[in-house]
């Protein structure tokens, strides 16, 4: 088992412990480290049996930059510490009340493309060792991005095509509909981009860290957990700022100074996204567990433990 997964097994089984770890891992300064430094840190975790306080930086560097299945450094823009700096302006722009459809399509295209790339780079790739990404997977990702882009622009399309002028209806399309839509598209993005895991299965381990085999049941559980965590992230990010703006618009200060609403919306979206990223990443363990009776029969016969472990991905 990869040292990253061993660390999550020993330190990341409670929500609060995972949250504390992710707050440290999301430090963007780790993006300045070279691939050589990252591999050196990962190798140190693999070679040292008992780590001391001086190895804390190696832990952070390895956990935030190395894929736990392949052992290779993740692409720079798809590492967890890069998620907030890159996605924040895309999310803010995609939730703006635009007046035309083209800007909405543009920002949705960028957001859904980055989300698909992040989901693919941080997937469980244990069944793909030594294999390149298939043409089928590339087409699936392209289709996911295209569909999600068009679906994300639906509120603005409805407003323009139907010629909506009523304030309550515009409020519904601009402030209410984007909440479930953002959560649903995030869920859809993860499910489709990582669908090959459910088809091929992912590696499961016994309590000693020994690989047992590939399990489709564990893959379905891993993808489902990740999809729910991403839906919680984007759904909450869309909901809280809209609710905050709705409440503050009733205050006299904001009624007299309507220009204050726009910067408030931008700041609150970025702030809620920044707070929700470590929370959503911590909702489910990185090293998940599945009961022995819930996996395939051939795997049940191969182990004596009551549960198996799997890398959930991110």
* pTM of the full structure: 0.91
Q: How far is it, in rounded angstroms, from Cα 174 to Cα 153?
A: 11
Q: Highest mean pLDDT: which of 4-13, 38-47, 227-236, 263-272?
A: 227-236
203 DSSP β-pair partners: 214
Q: Are residues 35 and 76 in contact, defined by beta-carbon separation less than 8 angstroms?
A: no
The closest alpha carbon to 195, from 127, 129, 147, 131, belongs to 127
Do 126 and 184 form a contact (C-beta atoms < 8 A)? no
- In the sheet that holds 307-311, the strands lie side by side as 211-215, 202-205, 307-311, 287-291
pLDDT band at 257 (very low <50, low <70, confident <90, very high): low
Q: Rounded to whole angstroms, how far apart are CA atoms 188 and 227?
A: 8
Q: Which residue bears the tokens 């515009």?
A: 170
Distance of alpha carbon 202 from alpha carbon 204, whole angstroms: 6
Confidence class of residue 285 from pLDDT cuts 50, 70 and 90?
Answer: very high
pLDDT at position 48 is 62
Mean of the per-residue pLDDT values for the chain? 87
3-state SS of 257-309? CHHHHHHHHHHHHHHHHHHHHHHHHHCCCCEEEEEHHHCCHHHHCCCCCCEEE
The 3-state DSSP class for residue 206 equals: coil
Distance CA 69, CA 200 (A): 15
Over range 25-46, report the average pLDDT.
Answer: 87
- Tens digits of residue pLDDT in 199-250: 888 999 888 888 888 999 999 999 999 999 999 999 999 999 888 887 776 7
Name the residue with higher pLDDT: 50 or 195. 195
- Least Cα distance to 202 among 186, 181, 183, 224 occurs for 224
Task: Give the model's pLDDT for residue 52.
Answer: 54
Q: What's the rounded Cα separation, in Å, for the pair 119 and 274?
A: 18
Return the number of other C-beta atoms located less than 10 Å from residue 83's C-beta: 23
Residues facing 300 on adjacent strands: none
End-to-end CA distance of the chain: 17
**pLDDT mean over 145-164:** 89
Report the pLDDT value the prediction gives residue 49, as an integer from 0 to 100: 57
* Cα separation, 89 vs 104, whole angstroms: 13
**How far is C-alpha 146 from the geometric centre of its chain's CA atoms?**
19
C-alpha span between 45 and 254 (Å, rounded): 54
Q: What residues does each domain of the chain span?
A: 3-311
Per DSSP, 209 falls in state S
Confidence of residue 128 (pLDDT cuts 50, 70, 90): confident
Mean pLDDT of 276-302: 89
pLDDT digits (tens, 9 = 90+) for 59-96: 888 899 999 888 889 999 999 999 999 999 999 999 88
Give the whole-angstrom CA distance, residue 284 versus residue 25: 16
The answer on pLDDT for 50 being more than 60 is no
Percent pLDDT > 70 in the chain is 92
């Amino acid at each position: 088992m990869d040292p990253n997964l061993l660390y999550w097994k020993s330190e990341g089984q409670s929500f609060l412990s995972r949250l504390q770890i992710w707050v440290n891992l999301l430090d963007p300064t780790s993006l300045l480290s070279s691939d050589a430094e990252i591999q050196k840190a990962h190798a140190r975790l693999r070679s040292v049996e008992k780590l001391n306080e001086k190895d804390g930086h190696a832990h952070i560097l390895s956990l935030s930059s190395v894929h736990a299945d392949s052992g290779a450094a993740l692409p720079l823009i798809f590492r967890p510490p890069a998620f907030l700096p890159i996605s924040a302006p895309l999310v803010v722009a995609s939730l703006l009340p635009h007046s035309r459809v083209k800007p909405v399509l543009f920002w949705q295209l960028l957001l859904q493309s980055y989300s698909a790339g992040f989901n693919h780079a941080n997937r469980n790739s244990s069944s793909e060792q030594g294999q390149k990404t298939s043409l089928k997977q590339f087409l699936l990702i392209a289709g996911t991005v295209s569909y999600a882009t068009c679906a994300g622009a639906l509120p603005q399309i409805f407003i323009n095509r139907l010629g909506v002028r009523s304030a309550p209806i515009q409020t519904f399309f601009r402030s209410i509909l984007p909440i479930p839509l953002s959560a649903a598209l995030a869920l859809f993005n993860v499910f489709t981009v990582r669908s090959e895991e459910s088809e091929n299965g992912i590696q499961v381990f016994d309590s000693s860290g020994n690989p047992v085999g590939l399990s489709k049941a564990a893959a379905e559980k891993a993808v489902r957990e990740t999809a729910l965590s991403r839906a919680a992230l984007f759904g909450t990010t869309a909901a809280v700022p809209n609710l905050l703006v709705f409440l503050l618009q009733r205050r006299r200060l904001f009624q007299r100074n309507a220009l204050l609403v726009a910067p408030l919306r931008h700041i609150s979206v970025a702030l809620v996204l920044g707070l929700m990223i470590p929370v959503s990443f911590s909702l489910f363990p990185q090293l998940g567990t599945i009961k022995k009776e819930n996996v395939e029969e051939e795997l049940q016969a191969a182990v004596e433990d009551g549960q198996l472990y799997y890398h959930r991905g991110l």
